[in-house]
Structure 1
Amino acid sequence: MNFTDFGLHPDLLDGIDAMNYKTATPIQEKAIPVILEGKDLIGIAQTGTGKTAAFILPVINEIIESGVANSTQALVIVPTRELAVQIDQVIEAYSYFTGVSSIAIYGGGDGKEFAQEKNAFVSGVDIVIATPGRLISHLNMGYVNFSKLRFLILDEADRMLDMGFQPDLMRIIAKIPAKRQNLLFSATMPDGVMKLARTLMNSQPITISIALSKPAEGVTQRAYVVYEEQKLALVTDLLKDRRGQRIVVFCSSKASVSSLYSKLQRKNLSVGQMSSDVEQDQREETMLAFKNSKIDIIVATDVISRGIDVDGIDLVVNYDVPRDPEDYVHRVGRTARAERKGEAITLVSPMDQHRFRRIEKLIDKDIEKLTPPKSLGEGPEYSPNARRGKSTGPHSHRPAGGHGQHGRKNPAAPGNREGGNSGGGGQRKKKPGGNNRWGKPKPTGERTEPGRDGVQ
């Protein structure tokens, strides 16, 4: 379907057209009519499918049509500050010509930011995107008015439950109107999320499931079977000829991020790092440099596996095999978004082979196994079902099958279905302006109160 087929408000269509989007993704095509009809919705969709626009566009449309200003009509609850900022930017882009206002509410920061958030609540803001802990802090102060709230959206519900937010969610839900439209989005649907949905929904919800737990078709997936001590030389070799590409290298711990970042810096690669050990100001500066192509590579923990929203990421490297197979899908989902092309390479050590096999079973795909270049020596045999002790070195196993080619750039077209930095703002009027009229900065990352808004 084209976006013009949904019957959206002309001012909203102007914003969509300005972003040069014409055709809806499958989740948008199925979800937008359901939301416009006022029905509760459960959407099962992974990152990169266009799910943010799937709920944001109809919500903006209904806020415009209501004619009500200076009252919060929609509340979006998310697990991390990164995702809150991303969704706020999406709203700014699509609502540029509509006058619909929004603000991201998240933990961390200083008293000035808290005051700016309070001012938004008191002055009236159409859409609030919030992490649970920070929102409760404002609710406890007594000035938050949700009496005209019409929409409650939970995004990445599975991750919120994994991070222990269910008690906070119940406290928030108890403070908002019982008569509302509920939208729940999740990449997976475990029992806990189903139970939450039953608690949340006022009526029989419509369930839409799109491409559950599988990377996008446009991702070329490969794996190198290597010893742990071969990883640094291999990743350096993989990255050295990719200047000008956008690359994210995922590590499984903050210590690994710091170590690999320092080593790649010494190799004269254009690199930054992202983890909760990095100060907020530095994280913001790093992400801005990455978005503006001033650095080519970000080494990061899973702190950005679901939240980063950067146009045209060419390559994702899993320096460590993620502990949870679902995390692989979210890491790989950083590239090949909205039907574009991308590449994902995973370095699989002997101790990680069983874990990698679990990933292959989850996505129902045998990922091509490559051997390291001859200059690095032989790699281990790929035998994920074998019992393994400590890795005994690069010459203790037979080489794996496959080819030692690295592959060149797999171009990813610029642009992103869920991105955008334009601003809307203020009242129900067409004039474009600054959406974020409270002057709150737009950080990246998610360094927040421990145990509340998520620290990686």
Structure 2
Amino acid sequence: MSFEQLGISKQLCEALPSQGITKPFPIQENAIPLILKGKSVLGIAPTGSGKTASFILPILEKRQHLSYKNSRNIPVLILVPTRELAIQIEAFVKSCTSFLKRPVKGMAVYGGASINPQMKNMMGTELLIATPGRLLDLMEQNALSLSQLETLIIDEADKMFQLGFEEELQSVLKEIPSASQYILFSATLNDKVEKIKSTLHATFETVEVKNETETVAAIDQLAYYVTPERKGPFLRYLLKTEITTQVLIFVSSTRTADNLVVKLVKNGIKASALHSKKTQGARNQTLQDFKDGTIQVLISTDLLSRGIHIDLLPVVINYELPRSPFDYVHRIGRTGRANEKGKAITILTVEDIHHFKVIQKKMKYFIEPIPTDGIDLNKF
């Protein structure tokens, strides 16, 4: 099936090859026709399954055929949990707009950046992509109006709660008048997501594709056992002898991320850290440098465990385990996206073994850690 068969116009389809999109994925095949019909949709799909295009394409398809009076009345609101995801969606929207019959302005607003330019650029925005906190700030400043809202989209709905945005999200929902269409996308379905559904008082069509454990099974996973003092040298050994491509390394704290960068750079490995204590400008530049290939190794906290698409990322390393098994799945889901091959490596010490067993039990996927005693790490 093609995107045109799903109801996406030929000119909008022409925007997709530049984004590496050649044919619809299952979530897109199921969600796009429903959204085009104006249905409220709950989409449950793992990371890397094409959720963004699932809602952006039909929304742009509909908007290009509608008239819009240049104003601060927002017809389409997209709520997201992180600044990076907001920026990514905005970039996808902009990549499509030049192919539309009528220009449709999309803009991302988020904290960590000056609010004044966002307020000034609000005029004429049809698709507003926002984090909950910054949206509330803009609403308090009367920078926009949601009185004529037609479509509300909440992306990564479950992550909103994991990141502690429940109160802000509920505050936003209280201020939103009844929209004609609601769209929720989430990697998991839980009580919190059900709570959002009940708050919105809408009848949802549920679309669910390929569960997380199937996605995990499609990624080549390896685990290595090391003693604590050999952990750093073993990572450098991997990066210098086994991994010649770009790699995303996950750690549990900003301090570990920064310390790891210092040690890797000292050993001649181009690396940079990405975490919440970096300024937004620095975060944007670091992520872009990694995407451009300027940086070989990107070290991140769970800030990037969801919602960020990095084309053809071949390897992910868990230098430290996350607390939640779900976060483990989302971390390794940065590789092996959209049917591409990927590898996920986890480095374990004795204190990690029990927790790793818990993660594997939740995944229903078991990996036998490989001992590293016989590897000479003196040079690393």
What aligned pairs does 1:23-422 form with structure 2 within 5 A after superposition? 23-70=23-70, 71-98=73-100, 99-110=103-114, 114-121=115-122, 123-202=123-202, 204-214=203-213, 215-241=215-241, 245-372=245-372, 374-376=374-376
Tell me which structure has the larger Cα radius of gyration: 1
1:85 partner letter: I
Aligned sequence identity (%): 37
Q: How big is each residue's C-alpha offset from its partner over 1:153-189, in whole Å with a ceiling of 9 and x where there is no partner?
A: 1111111112232222222223233132001111111
In the alignment, is the contact (CA less than 8 A) between 1:213 and 1:362 conserved in 2? Answer: no
State which drifts further: 335-344 or 220-229.
Answer: 220-229
Shift of 1:290: 1.1
- 2:6 pairs with 1:6: yes
Instruction: State the distance in 2 between where 1:294 and 1:244 align.
Output: 14
SS for the counterpart of 2:261 is helix
In the TM superposition, residue 243 of structure 1 has moved relative to its aligned partner by: 6.9
Aligned residues: 372
CA–CA distance in structure 1, aligned partners of residues 24 and 56 of structure 2 = 13
More divergent stretch after superposition (264-273 vs 131-140): 264-273
| Deviations 1:101-151 (CA, angstroms, capped at 9, x unpaired) | 1111000123xxx12211232x22010000001000010112312233211
Q: Is the contact between residue 182 and residue 201 of structure 1 (CA under 8 Å) also seen in structure 2?
A: no
Q: In 2, are the aligned partners of 1:79 and 1:159 still within 8 Å (CA)?
A: yes
Q: CA RMSD in A?
A: 1.9
After superposition, what is the alpha-carbon deviation per residue over 1:225-262, rounded to whole angstroms, capped at 9, x for unaligned?
Answer: 22222211111111113675211111111111112111
Structure 1 residue 65 displacement after superposition: 2.1
Cα distance in 1 for residues equivalent to 2:358 and 2:165: 27
Stretch of structure 1 that moved more, 169-178 or 98-107: 169-178
Distance change in 2, residues 1:131/1:200 (3 Å): same
**Paired residues of 2:7 and 2:33 also in contact (CA < 8 A):** no
- Report the Cα offset of residue 279 of structure 1: 3.6
* Contact 2:224/2:369, CA 8 A, preserved across alignment: yes
- Give the deviation of 1:10 after TM superposition: 3.1
Q: Residues 285 and 142 of structure 1: is their aligned pair in 2 closer, same or farther, counting only changes over 3 Å? A: closer
1:373 deviates by 5.2
CA 1:309–1:22: 2 relative to 1, 3 Å: closer
C-alpha change, 1:285 and 1:376, in structure 2 (3 Å) is same
Distance 1:174 1:282 in 2: 34
Distance in 2 of aligned mates of 1:219 and 1:33:
30
Aligned to 1:391: none
- CA contact under 8 A between 2:151 and 2:179: conserved in structure 1? no
- Cα 1:216–1:96 shift into 2, 3 Å: farther
Point out where structure 1 has 5 or more consecutive residues left out of the alignment.
Answer: 378-456
* Cα shift readout 1:353-400 (whole Å, capped 9, x = no counterpart): 1211122122211124212151359xxxxxxxxxxxxxxxxxxxxxxx
Task: Give the alignment's TM-score, normalised by structure 2.
Answer: 0.92
